[in-house]
A and B are shown apart, each in its own frame.
Chain A
Amino acid sequence: MELFEEIKEAVIDGDEDLAAELAEKVLEEGLNPVDAVQEGFIKGIEEIGNSWKAGEAFLPDVMMAADAMKAGLAILEPRIAELGGSDEGAGKIVLGTVEGDIHDIGKNIVGALLTAAGFKVFDIGIDQKAEAFLAKAEEVGARIIAASALLTTTMNSQKGLLQYLEENNVRDKFKVVIGGGPTSKAWADEIKADGWAETADEAVELCKGLLS
């Protein structure tokens, strides 16, 4: 299907505007949006992912492809929902930088790679209180909460987040993963998080593993 091929190329090229335009065309022509996602967007993301692993594509390529896919999916999702399909993707994740910390480049990279891997990412931004993480997670029905911290002084907010979930008797509702420069597996174990990853692509594997 030529249109799906064009969608795939738009994702590979990281062309957000074209991806959205082609998604509109799928709707206009009454084509199956689920097929468009599978044959167009996902095929494009997979190809970029493979190029990245082979060292031929780089982070900007992957992140721009993820943005293009996100733009296209946003347009197709309402129709997919109408047809009875799910908008879960690989799973819903709430992502944010913890209270007291305004660093976010690592979080942004993780968010893009998670999107590329098919997760529905809800990025609540920087300097977020535990309440904000929980509120968003409950609002969207997320299964994973992912919290980032760059400073040794703000790592404790990750501990605070887990304590907050415990106190509100919702700890078991979510998988909680943490990351960021000064964090480690030992720290994750100490605060009883469900997982930790050092790099963005490891974070993707971690989330896949937690929801499988």
Chain B
Amino acid sequence: MLPKFNILTPEQVQLVHENTLKILTEIGVEFSYKPALDVFQSHGLKVEGQRVFFEPEFVEAMVKKAPAEFTLHARNPENNLVCGGENIIYMPGYGAPFVHEVDGTRRNATMADYDNFVKLAGASKNMHMTGGNVVEPSDVNESTRYLSMMYSNIVNSDKCFMGSASGEEKANDSIELAAILFGGKDVIKEKPAIICLINSVTPLKYDDRMLGALMAYAEAGQPVVIAALVMAGSTGPATLAGSLAVQNAEVLAGITLAQCINPGTPVVYGSTSAITDMATGSLAIGNPECALFNSASAQLARFYGVPSRGGGSLTDAKTADTQAGYESMMTLLAASTTGINFVLHAAGILQYYMAMSFEKFMVDDEIAGMVSRYLKGIDFTEEKFAFDIIKEVGPGGHFLTQKHTRKNHKVELRRTGLSDRQSYDGWAKESIDTNQRAHKKWQDVLASYEPPALDGEVKAAIDEFIAKRSAELL
């Protein structure tokens, strides 16, 4: 792996930390959930109404309890993932309500879309997990939707996936489902198998839904991503430094809560901070400022000794066009080279998280492949310097017929999945662009994908649990 690139000096990291502590102690964070307030109160923190004021030493001590890395277990152990350290994990987009078709037509996302995105992630060599909430399926009843979504992740792939964070009840059901899949609650407490995404409400608030889920996962010893999305200029200061401090305060407050509930709960420091487009007021994510927030967040997480979440292939474009390409490459490359460990939205995202696209998924899969190859760096072992070969070939010769070349090109020179490298005439036969190639590719991948078999008894137990809960909820 390439060494991680730091964009901040140690002094700058300290400045962010100090400004964050100032926010936490003098302004505080609001938690609109009594159980969370009770936890803070029991640790002796000052609570006024719903606002909690933190003590610097307390925050620092709590954050230290979170592990620097943890293993997330998959139903196929080959797909287990280490989160943190030198590792990077890519997974699809999360939470989009719409799908944009190849021609840009927008429609509501469906359960069929959900299944297909999970399958594409399952098939992909570059997506390490199938993620969660890959789209919000509008054709499934909202009260049982989370069960259908997790079911899809479980049966369509044997990679790691995420659970619901929409409140305590859904969180507990998600943990229960994971427990059934892996053989019991004690099994997953020892070997965490499910992770969820907890979001603050910027500036400086957490709502009851998210807090209920955070507390459920923490109690069960399952990891949580604690993330803030500061929109510089509207929900945060227009200055990146100030917005970074707001984000940092929110995330540290959440991490502190998790450690209070269950010391040692694995957490991931999350940032999806970006900017407000000042002409319209919309969130804008495919930009250098977003890349800066991600890069700084990766480094801050290292400072706090926890894994980081951020980035993705982020764009404000509405189709998988040129804008989508350059914005996504910038944001994914920045996140990856600065050491973000857990990358949601690494495939499929369009229009500032509002939509997913199958074409964009394939484009992003290619981008992820390219970035992964870049992160691998250059192998400088002696054999790779090829001195003897260079001597043999000599001045004016060529290397194409060398055994060394035949052996090493497959390892060193990445083959493209989507990019076109043909001659002009080769390309001109169909003269289709990336979007059209992607359109064909995702259909081919789905047609040839075989979901891995799931043990019959386990499947039956899962079916039974979902049927029971659905009947209770509907």
Contact = CB atoms under 8 A, between A and B. Distances in A.
A182 interface: yes
A107 B233 CA distance: 15
A55 B279 contact: yes
B108 A58 contact: no
B32 interface: yes
A102 B207 contact: yes
Given A152-B97, A156-B142, A181-B97, A59 B278 contact: yes
A184 B279 CA distance: 21
B97 A58 contact: no
B354 interface: yes
A60 B142 contact: no
A154 B231 CA distance: 21
A199 B280 contact: yes
Interface residues of A, number: 21
Interface in A138-180: 152-153, 156
B144 interface: no
A125 interface: no
B359 interface: no
A105 interface: yes
B359 to A, nearest CB: 21
Contacts of B279: 52, 55, 58-59
Q: Give the one of B108, B201, B279, B281 with max A CB within 10 A.
A: B281
Contact of B97 (A55, A102, A182, A200): A182
Given A184-B108, A186-B108, A58 B278 contact: yes
Interface residues of B, number: 24
A199 B280 CA distance: 7
B473 to A, nearest CB: 13
B201 A103 contact: yes
Contacts of A182: 97-98, 136
B32 A102 contact: yes
Interface string B227-265: 000010111000000000000000000000000000000
Interface in A164-212: 181-182, 184, 186, 199-201
Nearest to B354: A181
Contacts of A102: 32, 201, 205, 207
A26 to B, nearest CB: 32
A200 B280 contact: yes
Given A181-B354, A182-B136, A105 B231 contact: yes
Interface string B317-360: 00000000000000000000000000000000000001000000
B282 interface: yes
Contacts of A200: 280-281
Contacts of B209: 100, 153
A115 to B, nearest CB: 14
A129 to B, nearest CB: 15
A80 interface: no
A153 B205 CA distance: 19
Nearest to A108: B234
Interface in A24-73: 52, 55, 58-60
A200 B282 CA distance: 9
Given A102-B201, A182-B136, A184-B108, A153 B142 contact: yes
B278 A60 contact: yes
A181 B281 CA distance: 12
A109 B32 contact: no
Nearest to B137: A152
Contacts of B470: none
Contacts of B25: none
A186 B108 CA distance: 9
A52 B277 CA distance: 13
Nearest to A53: B279
A156 B138 CA distance: 12
Given A55-B279, A58-B278, 8 more contacts: A59-B233, A59-B276, A102-B205, A103-B201, A109-B281, A153-B142, A200-B280, A200-B281
Interface of A: 52, 55, 58-60, 100, 102-103, 105-106, 109, 152-153, 156, 181-182, 184, 186, 199-201
12 contacts: A55-B279, A58-B278, A59-B233, A60-B278, A102-B207, A105-B234, A109-B234, A109-B281, A153-B142, A184-B108, A199-B282, A201-B280
